[in-house]
Every structure is written in C-alpha cells, then in structure tokens.
Structure 1
C-alpha cells in the first residue's frame, strides 16, 4: 500500500506542525484537483487559524519534496494532486473546468511506440486533453 502524504512527509524529515498535518489530511482526502484557495477553505473548516500564506508555503514545500505535483489546466490556477497516485491522464472541459481522469491502454501503448521509434525509452509522461462537450 502506498504511504500516505503524512507518512511521506515524515519519511522526508519535514517538520510537521499542526497546520501542515491538517493540510496533508485535506490533500489526502481530496478526490479532485484542488487549488490553494480550495485547500485553504477545507483546512480552515478544520482549524480556523490556518492562513492562506501557510497553505501556499506548505504546498510548495510538499512539491519540492516530491509529495505533490502541480497541475496547470489552463484556467490560470495551479492545482495539486498526490505525486504517488496511480498513473492517469486528464481531460479538461474548457467550458466548465471539470477535470476527468482516465487511463487508456491504446494511448499508453502509442506513446511507448512513438518513443521507441524515435530511439528513446519512455520514463513518464503527462497527457492533458482540453475539450468541449459535443452538443
């Protein structure tokens, strides 16, 4: 089983203040791709003393430590997700901002094939599709 965000913070030797623990909990429980303001709102619901600046510093620290990954979905806001989640790609509805996670075996195989054809071994990738719903 993958260690939790909190466990990875501890393993990386990060000092875990009470606000950082709450922010780690909020991120662990997130099923979406929250931005800093959303993380802050969720953290404040648990501890009203957590400032927005603390959330910014914490997510940046977690990113630098390889615990979180920053995502940019074209709306001008950085979003965050656990760096150790299973691999997936994203489809972003540009009208609503909805982010849909998916895995497609054909896409994965095609990316491997392209890298091989170009003389490379694929070590990772990110795929973000920007789309509008058909009417």
Structure 2
C-alpha cells in the first residue's frame, strides 16, 4: 500500500518538484496551497507525512503544524518544514510547534527523500 504524503506550499513549482520526486519513489501525494487548504485536505484518511513551507498566505507553516497537532487523527503525523528560512529561532519555533525536520530550499530531491524515508516507517 502506498504511503500518503501531504505537500503544502504556495509555490506551484515547488509542489510540482516535490510531488514528482515523491511519486517516483512510490508515494501518493496530496497537495495544499497554504495552511488553510492543507487542513481541508485532512479529512480522516491516513497521511504518513506532511511537508510544509513556512511562509505562505492565509496560514503559515508554523500555524499549520500547531493546528495539525491538535487534530486527534494527525497529532502523531511527522511534519517536515521545507523552507527558505534558515534562522535558528525559526527552526526552534518549528520544533516547539511539533515539526520533526527542517529542510532549507533550494534542496536536492535525494536529500528530501532521505528525510522522508527516515520519517515514513515501512
């Protein structure tokens, strides 16, 4: 059974690059254009991992992490922040909210897949 991964980014090109990499590795992909849209995608289906940008309109990635961690069905879902933000204070804020990993853009698809494989258990 394929593993579902939710990608949340307001950039269509970033979602496309991440989606292609994940699909080639055998994952199923759900997409959200911002935090609010991502929450609408979480309808009770099993999601094995969420990959989210930090800076997005309507609801940023840190707020999304906090909201997901309040949802009983998803509170244990690992979340990776994929962002241009590299300041330690932002990373700490993300970790405190519940993010498990932090990948800085630009990234190499194999780097992201390595993080995904560590967090999505077989």
TM (norm. structure 1) is 0.29
Structure with larger RCO (C-alpha < 8 A, sep 6+): 2
Larger Rg: 1
TM (norm. structure 2) is 0.31
